[in-house]
Amino acid sequence: MGKLTTHVLDTANGRPGADIKIELFALNGDTRRAIKTIHTNHDGRADAPLLEGAEFETGEYELVFHAGDYFAAIGVKVPEPRFVDRVVLRFGIADAGAHYHVPLLVSPWAYSTYRGS
């Protein structure tokens, strides 16, 4: 059975990105449909898969990570406007039977992602 998971690593401080707001949207052309909003746990992970079972369907999705708010909350001084604020990742799910893990590695100045396992 397929599922969608994520986690966040704060690469500037060498620790998990705890209590980061993440929004999940399904995309259909120019239409975004909100599916779920969560906050990462102390280990920078979602407590449960973002999608699984009958909810996990092929299609295009968007994750929005509120990284700028996280860095502000832990006291990082960055100029306004923030260089990295909300990180928007658009991706496709082609196989509803697979595990899609979409991690975010983030600092106040850069981010990267990949399809993990």
Q: What is the pLDDT of residue 117?
A: 84
Q: Show the tokens assigned to 44.
A: 């920078």
Q: In what order do the strands lie in the sheet with 3-5?
A: 51-52, 3-5, 99-101
Binding annotation: 7, 45, 114
Residue 4 in contact with residue 45, Cβ under 8 Å? no
For residues 7 and 61, give the distance between their C-alpha atoms in angstroms, rounded to a whole number: 16
- Structural domains for the chain: 3-113 (2.60.40.180)
Tell me the pTM. Answer: 0.97
- In 3-state terms, what secondary structure has residue 116? strand
Q: What is the pLDDT of residue 1?
A: 83
Residue 7 in contact with residue 89, Cβ under 8 Å? no
Binding annotation for substrate: 7, 45, 114
Q: Count other C-beta atoms under 10 Å from residue 114's C-beta.
A: 10
Digits of tens for pLDDT over the chain (117 positions)? 899 999 999 999 999 999 999 999 999 999 999 999 999 999 999 999 999 999 999 999 999 999 999 999 999 999 999 999 999 999 999 999 999 999 999 999 999 999 998
